[in-house]
Structure 1
């Protein structure tokens, strides 16, 4: 078995021996009973990158689209151009628009015809230009039109513009009402907590989660035929379960809880959540095969596959949570789903080497290092870059 000397959080080096028991990525044998979107990251082209902290990134399209095909090959849908793709953290709207257009062309050519939903926001405008509800509506509308023209389903991403103008519930209702009326097909709403983006504090017009829940449920109830579902990323299982029970029939709850997804997706016997998760991009083989087991009625296999991934996901999404994208890209590199570990804005440097070492250990324990030789070689290279021989 392969063995490496890895750093720990107590500043020691400890030998770690790989298990050699990895899942083989594959497509599900039967249709899944849960809708599952994996939110994917973006890979930079290190040779073409110029001034990586300024301006638009140079995207490595082969690696970026290759990773999406790797997810689709395992039967997962794709949430495109979301916060996982560094929207507002290195990836601007022109890059995101091109990403959506390229991804949709790629999806149409894929034999499984995967489902793709794409993030519409307001980030083509500076916050100083978004002074009121009409400005926010127009900015969203521009991106929605681009997504529909490309053939994607719309996800109405949470916009920093609302908290910036201290919008109240009435302003959210006005904007979202107009956007839902404009959409040609049902959309997915998006509630991203401030642990993912501090600029979204007070979303839906209140710092009180109960009042915020009432506000967005009012919007959903008024437009339920135009709402496919809502993604909630508050890392609060109790809130999600209570919110889920209040949704109209036919409106899905897409969990964005990267800590409690196993329980929420399995459900309580009456209700369950679907998935729109950055974590699924990190744990794709386990996610696909666990959902297959659930569809087959084998809850024991479901838990055996999913439970070991939860500590891994909690490490990837540890505080400061907004830097989780680096862990997803790191695992894609270890699994040879991309050829290098360079992200827009040099985002791979947002986590420390001890974090990457812990992700390596936990990924192995979750059976997610599908090419152990490649993973060990690349982990060794990263250790050397950090002065660890």
Structure 2
């Protein structure tokens, strides 16, 4: 290196990545709690239930078998890939061969692998917004350009074909589709799913569909896989999924992607250099989850449904807050635009938050309740709260928010 030449310590590619806002909020809440503060966290999408016993037992038994102490195929254990293929047919009516499955270290690696495999520099990916915070970062890492299409509460946080049509350019390659949605809890009807899928096929687009909340729907609302609803898409579909949300297995880190054989082969090659195989013990636990009963899932849904109704009612009781009732996942996405610019009396004097990020900081500082601001998922003016925490914490957290926000002037 010649004299006077300097290089950045961190690459531009990695420097451009924003920290996961949901994990950051959760980490801050947990740090405050560890310091003895009575913080209540609505940040992370993490069920408060333990992983069902039969899944834990499968992992314990697998840990005692020497064959699982060794490297295994980078793409996943054959028994788990078979279970995923069978589960996909059972739940989505979509038939795939186990060779079309790649087992990943959680759903996030499935997201990363997919965009790294499909996206070339400059390719555009349409993202219905509000979006999960990781999607645009994974797209940018691959050199792609996220194109946000915003649907507000006025339209149930559901984008229309007309909006998607307006976003298409000659650089568009992929439509990202998520139903049920994180962060809004919105679920597209079977008719809407089919219409959007047919439109994407007519444009020659790939569809990447994240179906990790497929089992978490309420009020008789159906989950519909776009892969099944729009056969016109052919093999230009990649399904992302995992065991984290359905089976209360967020810490086990097992996800997967399903797609055409050439895409899965390429993504497997990538993973072989990045992480190699997912922990064998975790894979066996995931196989037990997918082949076992859905009884525990149904029991969790009863609790989630109860909490969903309670949090929506509690937030809508606050002047300036509008909270649509979600029909999927375990989040509410509250419109707080009516509170921005209002005056709040704090320990440091009056404060007027102008953004939802400032409002979320205020709520954490003043009443020790953690929520995630809309800036993490798209435009300012909204906050996301997970209702996957316990009933008592939920009630106390909502009470604190009501008491504080109710004093807005």
Q: Of the two, which has the highest radius of gyration?
A: 2
Please classify the TM superposition score into its range, dividing by the shorter chain length. Answer: 0.3 to 0.5
Relative to its length, the structure with more helix (as a share) is: 1
